[in-house]
Structure 1
Amino acid sequence: MSSMIHQGRAAYAFFERNWNLTKRYWAWEIVWLFYNIVNSMSVTFIGEGAGGIANVKLSPESTNRLILTLLIGTSVWSYLSVTFEGVTDMITMERWEGTIEHTFMAPISRFTHLVGSCWFAIVHGLLFTCIQLFVVSLFFHLDLSNANYLTAAFMLILGSLSFIGLGIGASVLPLLFTERGTQMSYIVRAILLVVSGVYYSVTVLPGWMQVLSIFSPATYVLNGLRAGLMDGAPIWSITIWNDIWPLIIAGIVSLPLGIYIFGVAERYAKRTGKLKRNG
């Protein structure tokens, strides 16, 4: 029991450390939040003006549904981006601070280290997403009378486990490639953006890309959120369950795999002296 308490405190210490690093770079946080809000508004305004673009008259119900589809897509994409960066940026920040070697030499398991950083990334991402949704909702009249918020919250939290697993795997890039490693991690997010149906249904994709969408946890998070917020589907419904079990499998696979990949990359970085490079 004492060992578990010690590990829990150590994980919280990394949570607190990451929070303090975020406060140090608070200006970047404001810039990124502003960008996410403006980007979300720009995409959502497409739904507002879709009828004029297509030269057809859409009913208020159809317009509302289109706006919600795009708003949910941009919100999940922002959450995924912030969560990913919550993991990968910590490696970059520790290089800037010159503390990465000390962290890796600390008498603490890598699992505890990553759990603390990942929980901070989840909280950070949820906070950003909630602020973004609140601000964007001020510009649109949204009908959420049928929304099931319990389903939406459950799907987002469940999907976070898979997102974190992918984020840990992608964080090896800034660990191994000092100069442009963080930017290289954008490749993972870009692939998820294309194949997951963030702004459109995956049915419009070519057949081979639809196959890729099956392996993206974001696909199931988006499906579940849209079913919960737009159609009021409860957690126990078949519609939601069809998105729950793939997320459970994705979380079970991606988290251990991401930690294993990080461990392999860490040992390689130590052996080759890459941790000494701060520029």
Structure 2
Amino acid sequence: MQFTKGNKPVMSTLMHQGRAAYAFFERNWNLTKRYWAWEIVWLIYNIANALTVTFIAKLAGETDPVKENYYILVLLIGTSVWSYLSVTFEGVTDVINIERWEGTIEHTFMAPISRFTHLIGSCWYAIAHGLLFSVLQLLIVGAFFHLDLGHANYLSALFILLVGSISFIGFGIASSVLPLLFTEKGSQMSFIIRAVLLLFSGVYYPIDVLPVWMQKVAIFSPATYVLEGLRNAIINGSPIWSPQILNNTWPLILAGAISIPLGIYIFGVAERYSKRTGRLKRNG
């Protein structure tokens, strides 16, 4: 028996939306291939930036090999999450920006698909792109140091990163309204969101060193739990079922459950405002 919604089978609707989401995934992949040189430039920039930060740890722990290994891993994980968040956010905001400038965004908004399908399709590609990008950076930067990874639990690291990605989707969708509203510098304005997010989350340091009021804000940042979970998985080798991983998992699930609907709602408000004020026609 097939459930129906009006005259249209529910299963058929789900398949249609699934194919549409994949279409956005494939389109964004084609855009990445179109600008492949930029991908190389961005990768080199992030590797150079990560090395600049990570060599500080080598200096700080040069008298103690154990501390040196710990410091390097802490900063290496921090730079990798920074790159992952940057690539993920840009994967969403850049697509909106490109469509604005090429004059195709109105056609996308008129397509017979839900905004949820449109945005989730773009976000999943951004996540896949960010994961690949960050793993490459992690491997290349890690090759510069003699790291002891004998205790690392890669399954837990992958698990916490994937769960964290769900919570990042909502923030990515919310930040994508900036290039929708501000053509010239909207994409660059999204930098401040991830920068503030990581500042409060202890990207290069434990949040214990932050002022008390900043520590309270850090509780609401999903990046806090991603960073803590990754460091427990890679440095301490914590398994998925351990408290160190599970205690960082449920806040990420909760953040995703709140941020995704909220992000889509914010995008819908911005879309209606852009249509009403004629901002979508600003291109070239």
- The TM-score with structure 1 as length reference comes to 0.96
> Is the 2:57–2:75 Cα contact (8 Å) retained in structure 1?
yes
1:42 paired to 2:52:
yes
Report the counterpart of residue 219 of structure 1 in structure 2.
224
Structure 2 unaligned regions, length at least 5: 1-10
1:146 paired to 2:146:
no
> Is the 2:239–2:245 Cα contact (8 Å) retained in structure 1?
yes
Q: Following TM superposition, by how much is the alpha carbon of 1:241 offset from its aligned partner in structure 2, in angstroms?
A: 1.5
Report the counterpart of residue 7 of structure 2 in structure 1.
none
Q: Following TM superposition, by how much is the alpha carbon of 1:5 offset from its aligned partner in structure 2, in angstroms?
A: 1.0
Change (3 A) 1:137 1:51: closer
Q: Percent identity of the aligned residues?
A: 72
Q: Following TM superposition, by how much is the alpha carbon of 1:278 offset from its aligned partner in structure 2, in angstroms?
A: 1.1
- Give a deviation string over 1:92-132, Cα, whole Å, max 9, x none: 11122221111111111111101110110011001101111
**Residue 236 (structure 1) aligned to one of 241, 244, 258:** 241
Report the counterpart of residue 136 of structure 1 in structure 2.
141
- Give a deviation string over 1:10-44, Cα, whole Å, max 9, x none: 11111111111111111211111111111111111
* Correspondence list, 1:85-100, <5 A: 85-100=90-105
Q: Report SS of the residue matched to 1:198.
A: coil
* Correspondence list, 1:97-176, <5 A: 97-176=102-181
Report the counterpart of residue 7 of structure 1 in structure 2.
17
Report the Cα distance in structure 2 between the residues aligned to 1:183 and 1:48, rounded to whole angstroms: 32
**Residue 196 (structure 2) aligned to one of 182, 191, 201:** 191
> Is the 2:225–2:252 Cα contact (8 Å) retained in structure 1?
yes
Report the Cα distance in structure 2 between the residues aligned to 1:248 and 1:20, rounded to whole angstroms: 31
- Give a deviation string over 1:40-91, Cα, whole Å, max 9, x none: 1111111111146xxxx2x211110000000000001100110011111110
Q: Following TM superposition, by how much is the alpha carbon of 1:162 offset from its aligned partner in structure 2, in angstroms?
A: 0.9
Q: Following TM superposition, by how much is the alpha carbon of 1:265 offset from its aligned partner in structure 2, in angstroms?
A: 0.6
User: Which amino acid in structure 2 is aligned with residue 259 of structure 1?
Assistant: I
Report the Cα distance in structure 1 between the residues aligned to 2:237 and 2:39, rounded to whole angstroms: 33
Report the Cα distance in structure 1 between the residues aligned to 2:169 and 2:38, rounded to whole angstroms: 22
1:204 paired to 2:237:
no
Q: In terms of mean alpha carbon deviation, does 24-33 or 120-129 score higher?
A: 24-33
Report the counterpart of residue 84 of structure 1 in structure 2.
89
User: Which amino acid in structure 1 is aligned with residue 14 of structure 2?
Assistant: M
1:259 paired to 2:269:
no
> Is the 2:101–2:282 Cα contact (8 Å) retained in structure 1?
no
Report the counterpart of residue 180 of structure 1 in structure 2.
185
Report the counterpart of residue 33 of structure 2 in structure 1.
23
Report the counterpart of residue 75 of structure 1 in structure 2.
80
- The TM-score with structure 2 as length reference comes to 0.94
> Is the 2:151–2:237 Cα contact (8 Å) retained in structure 1?
yes
Q: Following TM superposition, by how much is the alpha carbon of 1:193 offset from its aligned partner in structure 2, in angstroms?
A: 2.1
Structure 1 unaligned regions, length at least 5: none
- Give a deviation string over 1:232-278, Cα, whole Å, max 9, x none: 11111112121111111101000111011101110111111000001
